[in-house]
Amino acid sequence: MPSLKITLAAADALTWSSGLARWREDDPTHRNGKTPKSRRVEIWDSVLPGFGLRISDRGRKTWQALYRLNGKMIRASFGTIAKVPNVGDARELARQSMTKASAGANPVEEKRAAEAEQKRLAEAEEERKQNTLAVVIKRYGVERPKVNQKGKPLAPEYLAEIVRCLDKDVAKSKHGPRPIKDVTTKDLKALLRDIAKTRPGHARHVHAYLSTFFAWAVEEDIIDANPLAGIKAPAPKVERDRALEDAEIRLFWKACDQIGWPFGPLFQLLLLLGPRRDELARSTRLQFDLPKQTWILRGRDAKNDDALITHLPRLAVEIIEKLPPIKSSEGYLFTTTGERPISGFGHAAERVEKIMRKMAAEEGLPEIEHFTRHDLRRSLATGMAALGVAPHIVDKILNHSGGTTITGVARIYNRFQYRDERKAALGLWADHIENLIGLVRPREPVESDDPMPSNVVELATVRA
């Protein structure tokens, strides 16, 4: 519908009361600013030609100006009368716009560009406020890469530990609710120093997890730079030397028997065979050949990608044979669901230590110092060294990448070397543990001329 244009005299057209615009005209249909249905009213000022008030059919009153720019008619608006209640102020805005146009500028486009920039800045600020450190950490838990730099899949338990650590130590800290872009290097260094005061080793882990997290955030264009780039860990790495003494191994074995399935036999095999925790915890029944007494660890299942064939001493075979039956030959050896390997190692390890401390106190032995699951590997290495096993044989048993320096094709074939020596060393270590826990085995059968062999088989027993 066409606009209804009404031109009023400057002196009588616009009157103001209490700072709010009101206009009056002789036609009663438009009195008090009411417009005809489906029509617009444009009231033009005679003081500044081209400036006026536009009233929509819904009653919205907007200041405007009409002028030409490079032969093209331009309509510029300057807000409603609620925003600019004074007609003099609105007229001045219109005059400034016309002056810019006469100089060749386009005030309308400049205004649109300024509004767009303002909107962009507002959206960026809103995004900054929404992308708090805690929120981005939660997103990281879902979207972070599930493989390492070599493309090898990371264990779900390891991924869960990273997310748990970042959530507990970082997201729930005082910095968690802050926008991630506002968290500075100084803030993070202070956070890590606080953790290192009581848990220096854990602070190193948090530092490593945070460094990877911020690197991911940079790749996702969430932040511009990694605030931990080039920042050293808050505490120096301390090489642990904790290894279980013989008396502790005896208590450890008994404690594992007490907690039972699934962590008891798992911990016992860790001490007996010396693998890394996840290498055993994520192993499948298919990897074990009990008749041949071997465990084949595939390269993709090992931390260093090196395959390893481990000889299973009789004690290890007996532990595995007592495990609950597995529905599928490809199923996990240690699982409570049948679909994924067990988790919750820390709580189980605490139970073992608690039981060991109680037994030590009852027997009048020294108090048990804290030890980690990795210390079980060190206990095997230390114990084998005491039994006279050569260091390079121990390295092979632990599946270390170091040890004897062998590279190239020779390294591939060398993984099968020293099998007899490794078998003997593991058997020697198992015999040592059996002696410590008081396991008495029957003597080897002696050949006899008796034509009626006995059908009674002696079972191994444990001395009280």
**pLDDT (mean) for 62-80:** 86
> Radius of gyration over alpha carbons of the chain, in Å?
40
The better pLDDT of the pair 368, 400 is held by 368
| pLDDT at 116 exceeding the cut of 80 | no
| pLDDT at 330 exceeding the cut of 80 | no
CA-CA distance, 31 to 28, in Å (whole number)?
5
* Number of Cβ within a 10 Å radius of residue 32: 9
The better pLDDT of the pair 367, 160 is held by 367
DSSP, res 331: S
The better pLDDT of the pair 22, 102 is held by 102
**pLDDT (mean) for 241-253:** 94
Question: Per-residue confidence at 128, pLDDT binned at 50, 70, 90?
Answer: low
Domain 4-125 and domain 133-219 have a common topology: no
| pLDDT at 269 exceeding the cut of 50 | yes
pLDDT value at position 120? Answer: 73
pLDDT value at position 301? Answer: 60
Question: What is the CATH topology of the domain spanning 133-219?
Answer: DNA polymerase; domain 1 (1.10.150)
| Residue 247 CB-density burial (10 A; 0-12 exposed, 13-18 middle, 19+ buried) | middle
The most confident of 75-79, 132-136, 232-236, by mean pLDDT = 132-136
pLDDT value at position 239? Answer: 65
| Tokens linked to 391 | 């260091």
Please tell me whether residue 188 adopts helix, strand or coil conformation. Answer: helix
**pLDDT (mean) for 2-19:** 40
The better pLDDT of the pair 413, 226 is held by 226
> Percentage helix, strand, coil, to 5, in the chain?
50, 15, 40
**Mean confidence (pLDDT) of the chain:** 80
pLDDT of 279-288, one tens digit each?
899 898 889 9
- In the sheet with 288-289, reading across from the earlier edge strand, the strands are 288-289, 294-297, 308-311
The better pLDDT of the pair 44, 408 is held by 44
pLDDT of 298-325, one tens digit each?
766 655 556 788 999 999 999 999 999 8
Q: Where are the domains of the chain?
A: 4-125, 133-219, 246-440
Question: Per-residue confidence at 11, pLDDT binned at 50, 70, 90?
Answer: very low
pLDDT value at position 444? Answer: 54
**pLDDT (mean) for 13-37:** 39
pLDDT value at position 27? Answer: 37
pLDDT above 70 as % of the chain? 78
CA-CA distance, 413 to 408, in Å (whole number)?
9
CA-CA distance, 244 to 84, in Å (whole number)?
82
pLDDT value at position 443? Answer: 59
> Where do the DSSP E strands lie in 382-450?
439-440
CATH numeric code, 4-125: 3.30.160.390
> Quick one: which of 374, 381, 399 has its CA closest to 307?
399
The better pLDDT of the pair 122, 362 is held by 362
**pLDDT (mean) for 381-396:** 94
**pLDDT (mean) for 218-223:** 92
pLDDT value at position 10? Answer: 40
**pLDDT (mean) for 376-381:** 94
pLDDT value at position 456? Answer: 42
* Torsion of the alpha carbons at 90, 93, 97 and 103, rounded to the nearest 10: 140
**pTM value > 0.85:** no
pLDDT value at position 405? Answer: 44
**pLDDT (mean) for 251-266:** 96
| pLDDT at 265 exceeding the cut of 90 | yes
Cis omega (within 30 of 0) on the bond before 291? no
> DSSP alpha helices (H): ranges in 220-338?
246-259, 263-273, 277-281, 314-321
Q: Which CATH class name applies to 246-440?
A: mainly alpha
pLDDT of 441-464, one tens digit each?
775 554 544 444 444 434 454 544
Question: Per-residue confidence at 47, pLDDT binned at 50, 70, 90?
Answer: confident
